[in-house]
């Protein structure tokens, strides 16, 4: 076998090994819905999402897209392209600013504020997908 063929075969094997390793690392990432808040003065909703890397390899969080649901009703579309490196065995919180549709923004913020004042528990969840190390996979998490 020629030396160039051996080199090409070794390079191909290394590439396959790296892809499999990255995809298994990315699939082990855990998400948590940490906090939901409203900024009445700026008419926006703030969501904090925790990204936990339980592996011994640092990962690159590239993006998250999806929908924020409040009591089962979609209130805002979510998209964040804030690239962040998540250290091994560490959790990083990512602050995402949501801009709901103009029609329902005041009603949504009003509902959140009323619920906070009355001590009513809101059922908020996020459904979407995330891109970790160039691999996209589904994410579904509820506000704890």
User: Per residue of the chain (144 residues), what is the pLDDT tens digit?
Assistant: 566 766 666 666 666 655 655 555 656 788 888 887 877 677 677 888 888 988 888 888 899 898 888 777 787 888 889 899 989 889 999 888 876 766 666 677 777 777 777 877 777 788 999 888 888 888 888 875
State the pLDDT at residue 136.
Answer: 85
Q: Is the pTM of this model over 0.95?
A: no
* Distant-in-sequence, close-in-space partners of 56: CB < 8 Å, separation ≥ 6: 88, 89
State the pLDDT at residue 101.
Answer: 65
Domain ranges of the chain: 3-142
**Class for domain 3-142, per CATH?**
mainly beta
* Distant-in-sequence, close-in-space partners of 27: CB < 8 Å, separation ≥ 6: 135, 137
Half-sphere exposure of 51 (CA within 13 A, CB side): 28
Distance, in Å, from the CA atom of 43 to the CA atom of 34, rounded to the nearest integer, reads 20
């Amino acid at each position: 076998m020629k030396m160039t063929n051996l080199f090409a075969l070794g390079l191909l094997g290394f590439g396959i090994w790296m892809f499999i390793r990255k995809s298994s690392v990315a699939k082990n990432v855990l998400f948590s819905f940490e906090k939901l808040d409203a900024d009445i003065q700026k008419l926006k909703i703030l969501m904090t999402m925790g990204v936990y890397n339980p592996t011994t390899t640092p990962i690159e969080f590239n993006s998250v897209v999806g929908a924020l649901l409040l009591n089962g009703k979609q209130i805002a579309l979510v998209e964040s392209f804030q690239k962040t490196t998540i250290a091994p065995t560490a959790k990083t919180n990512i602050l995402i600013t949501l801009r709901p549709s103009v029609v329902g923004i005041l009603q949504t913020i009003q509902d959140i504020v009323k619920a906070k004042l009355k001590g009513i528990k809101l059922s908020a969840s996020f459904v979407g997908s995330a891109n970790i190390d160039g691999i996209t996979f589904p994410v579904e998490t509820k506000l704890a």
